[in-house]
Amino acid sequence: MPSPAQEMEAEFAARVAAAQTRAVTAPRELQELDARLERLRTRLAAGDPDMTTDELQGLIDRVYAKRKELQAAQPATRQQAKILAMLPRAAEAYLQQIDLGLSGDPRAILKSKVILRDLVGPIRLEPATDGSLWANYKFNAAALVKGATGTYGRGDRI
């Protein structure tokens, strides 16, 4: 059975691969749509015996709308790929900071506390029925995004 860290690494690798695939296939689709638009415009200008002018124009409008939709998704795909690429660097930077804190550097200790508070949140100690004591916490992966970018979002006002 894989450890939680291995599961996270596998999920991260799958997301990076999916983002890269989308980033590659979308431009190819855009090129195909551009070629189709050009063919449809040529048919519209020359006249088509099988379709009326209105039918061709409607088809052109639908293809153009799909092209705009794909173009709008492009920046989001690129941004997602950038964020996914930043996560390992953020995790590494956090690990180095925590190691410095464990070595006894007073400033690094304070920074490490803030990092761990963001990542783990409050820790509740709860006794079990068998007399053992369990520490419960929730891992906040979004804190890695904050570490990678310096903010949780774009910084826009809500």
Q: What is the pLDDT of residues 2-24, one digit of tens each?
A: 666 667 677 777 777 776 676 66
3-state DSSP helix/strand/coil percent for the chain, to nearest 5? 75, 5, 20
Q: What is the rounded distance in angstroms from the CA atom of residue 88 to the CA atom of residue 90?
A: 5
Q: What is the pLDDT of residues 45-75, one digit of tens each?
A: 888 888 888 888 898 899 889 888 877 766 6
Give the pLDDT of residue 103: 93
Q: What is the pLDDT of residues 111-125, one digit of tens each?
A: 888 888 888 888 889
What does the domain layout of the chain look like in residue ranges? 4-149
Q: Look at residue 92 and tell me whether its pLDDT is greater than 90.
A: no
